[in-house]
A and B are shown apart, each in its own frame.
Chain A
Amino acid sequence: MSRAARAGFVAVFGALATIVAYVVEPDSRADELVLLGAGIVIGELLVLRLEDRSAVPLSFAVMIVLASSFQFAEYALTILSAEVIAYFVRISQPSLRWRLSILVDRLAVAGATFVAYSVAWNALDQRESVAAVLTALGVAAVAQVVADYLIRTLLRISPSFSVRARLAWLAVASSGMLMAVGYRGVDGHGDVGIWGPLLFATPLLAAWYAFERLDAATLSYAQTIESLAMAPEFGGLVVAGHAQRVAHLSVAMGHDLGLSQSEVDDLEKAALLHHLGEVTLEDPEVAGRPDPADVAAVTGGMLREIRPLAGAGDIVAGDADDPKHRLAGHVLRLASEYDDLTATSGTSADIAIETLRSAPAFMHDPRLLTALERAVKSHSVSR
């Protein structure tokens, strides 16, 4: 069952539980607590996905609403119940360890949200003014980011602070603050009750939808490129897995050499597709093995025709004016040569690097050879 379908089920059961709570305890806010608890569970299923497959859950926005309007006992009980339910609803997560880590992260963030809001609110003398309320809510939102960062670092789940991650945090924080203001009001004004969080969640849901579309499109695009990278391998023009290995190696070397993330992204695409043009050339059995320079020129030309792959085309062609692209081109050729030596000729990693080092000095920049050596020795790309 998809996440959206599971969220739908939780919404239906949450609504039913809210009605029951209202019937049983009509004079308390139990019904609103149940509804906000359901919001936490739904918010655990609807997350803003980031490039590295980590995510910022929408439940953090609901935590801000709860922290600003309920006593600690009510808050803790609601969060704990909702997170335990979310633990079981989050069935698509791969491993028990991962799900436990996420549970710990959420409880820590929830604790930080409440403590930060309470401290800030008391420091502001619980003054019912727009500025004071927004300040206390803002402090709670910042505490969420800090707590999440610390817990992820402790649990070795890499925290992300890319542009997309920052925008995701900003969307959750601003929506959480707006939902909280709508729920509690300020000094008796602007209080639209439980409708506040429900209505003012709309922009956040719009952001979630946009993040989902972007994530799906990015994944499909990356998979299409990987799929195209397989064509020369299926055609027997290069050994199996060559493009993927060269891509891993090039990315590690690119980071080592201080290339920016977008340059590394271009380098990765270039490495995946650097043999693609070969499939359009005359067949080796008819015309003989093509000259690597011809393959690079044809592939570079193909990629340069597509705006988003133009950078990768420059790297493959190796004749770009941009020095960063020229450097990336050298990285790609060195990684490819290394893979040819180790995968095609069966040479060991040490001997392959030694062979490349002993080539004439003008062939390979010593900096690149050092980066290659480090990349090979690092865990991710060792053979």
Chain B
Amino acid sequence: MNPFPRELVGYTAALFAAAVFGALAFAVHEGTPDLGQLLVFGLVLVYCANRDVSLPNGTGVSPALMVMMTALVVFREEDSIAGVVLVGLASSIFVRGLSRSTWGWLPFNAGVNGLGMLLAVLVHGLFPDRAVNDLGPGLLAATAAVGVYAVTTWLLIATSYAVEQRALPRRMLREFVPLSVQTWPFGLLGSCIGLLYLSLGPSVMVLIIVPVFIAGEMFSSYVKVREAHDETVHMLIRALEKKDRYTAGHSERVAGYALYMGEEFNFGPGRMERLRFAALMHDIGKLIVPNHLLNKPGRLTEEEFARIRLHEKVSVQMLSHIEFLRPIAAVTTSDAMKFDPGDEDHPVEPYMVMIADAYDAMTSTRAYRKAVSQEVAFQELRDKSGTQFHPACVEALITAIEKRGEMHGAGFEIHTEFEHAPDVGLGSAGLGDLLRTEIAS
């Protein structure tokens, strides 16, 4: 959890005060909500708030909105708007990751959710009492309420960015529609559970919470396994870097460039994940190459070169063993990764990995030569575009790097341990080093 920024203190105080004031005003006006029900929903929501699951893309999934919508339907039946707002406030009581620097998020989230629920219940109240107790009109009212909740909370959070950073991040705009779409099914389901709760009592809450809890547990396990997988692949990369000191950070950078291309191609999350793993593990076969060959500073003999080339076949065999990489593993040898315009069935990912590999090799200083400039590397990729490299992938990488304003290569390397490398030269079998001899010299 990020530390709470000082710039948001005033804004948070205003949000929290508005939500609490709203709850108190309605409580005075319409009477105190049923404390038993408030306790049930409050406890369930505190549980939900502390059991959310962080997805790999950084967003969180929690059944809290579903429970809040159930509470909205139940308290609406009692004409208790205060109950709905108080439930919204309770949904923000989290303890995980709470510390002196982060506790400010607690009133912030309470204010955002409290005000979101206040407006949602007011909109829900525009629908006649009788109608909302039937499924069809009830769902219509719930749809409107969830929409108002989504817009309100988004606006309040967007304003917080504007207050803190004096600008609205583009990410917020991009994420609005997908996040809103995610909230509706949970909200509508919550509304239906509310109707069942009114007819059959709180026992239905148990039946709904159990599968939701189990889904949460399985998601947590999935995230843990995924982290373990990531850590294991990074161990592999460290092992590779121990063997081949020329390529420190290489696999990570290749994965980064490959993902740039994947983004330009609008790959979905599953395909991006496969591309990332394939790029991180593209040199896995080097594990079998003897250290003295990988670290040989001069040119290799033909026999040594053939031995090193064996690593590509081993990479294919090892990657093919991993089912989700299998569709692209078979074409990860340097011969198969050369662009072939006639082969329309060839997956594009290996082309991306090859271009990323070549670009990083050219823009990194190696023991046997210094890095070339970004312009030279771009030119080299464009020169071989259509013959050796996939043209669309080349342009995707260049566009992505220019869009980000990144500079790589000579003069822009953050760190290199080969400061005394010669300006030109070909070395260690040219693994990933595709620069033509005449350019290198």
Contacts and interface: CB of A to CB of B under 8 A. Distances in A.
A219 B216 CA distance: 20
Nearest to A207: B215
Contacts of B238: 302, 305
18 contacts: A130-B200, A167-B217, A170-B210, A174-B211, A181-B204, A203-B212, A210-B218, A213-B218, A214-B219, A223-B323, A224-B233, A227-B284, A228-B236, A231-B318, A283-B290, A302-B235, A302-B238, A306-B235
Interface stretch (A34-42, A182-190, A318-326, A356-364): A182-190
Interface residues of B, number: 57
A162 interface: no
A283 B296 CA distance: 13
Interface in A204-240: 204, 206-207, 209-211, 213-214, 216-221, 223-228, 230-231, 234-236
Between B218, B227, B323, the greatest number of chain A beta carbons within 10 A of the residue's beta carbon is seen for: B218
B229 interface: yes
A257 interface: no
Nearest to B294: A283
Contacts, number: 178
A213 to B, nearest CB: 4
B317 A203 contact: no
Contact of B189 (A199, A207, A213): A199
Nearest to B224: A308
Contacts of A186: 199-200
Interface string B190-231: 001001100111011011101110111111011011111101
A276 interface: yes
Nearest to B188: A199
B184 to A, nearest CB: 11
A277 B243 CA distance: 11
A73 interface: no
A175 B211 contact: yes
Contacts of B189: 199-200, 202-203
Q: Does more than half of chain A's interface fall in helix, strand or loop, or is it mixed?
A: helix
Contact of B287 (A202, A235, A285): A235
A183 to B, nearest CB: 11
Contact of B232 (A175, A207, A225): A225
Interface of A: 130, 134, 164, 167-168, 170-171, 174-175, 177-178, 181-182, 185-186, 189-190, 192-193, 195, 199-200, 202-204, 206-207, 209-211, 213-214, 216-221, 223-228, 230-231, 234-236, 276-277, 279-280, 282-283, 285-286, 302-303, 305-309
B185 interface: yes
Interface in B307-330: 314, 317-319, 321-324
Contacts of B212: 203, 206-207
B239 interface: yes
A210 B324 contact: no
A182 to B, nearest CB: 6
A190 B202 CA distance: 12
Given A213-B219, A283-B291, A190 B196 contact: yes
A185 B218 CA distance: 30
A328 B207 CA distance: 42
Contacts of A226: 321
A164 B254 CA distance: 37
Contacts of A216: 324
A312 B204 CA distance: 44
A190 B322 contact: no
B239 A279 contact: yes
A175 B193 CA distance: 12
Contacts of A178: 204, 207-208
B292 interface: yes
A231 B287 contact: yes
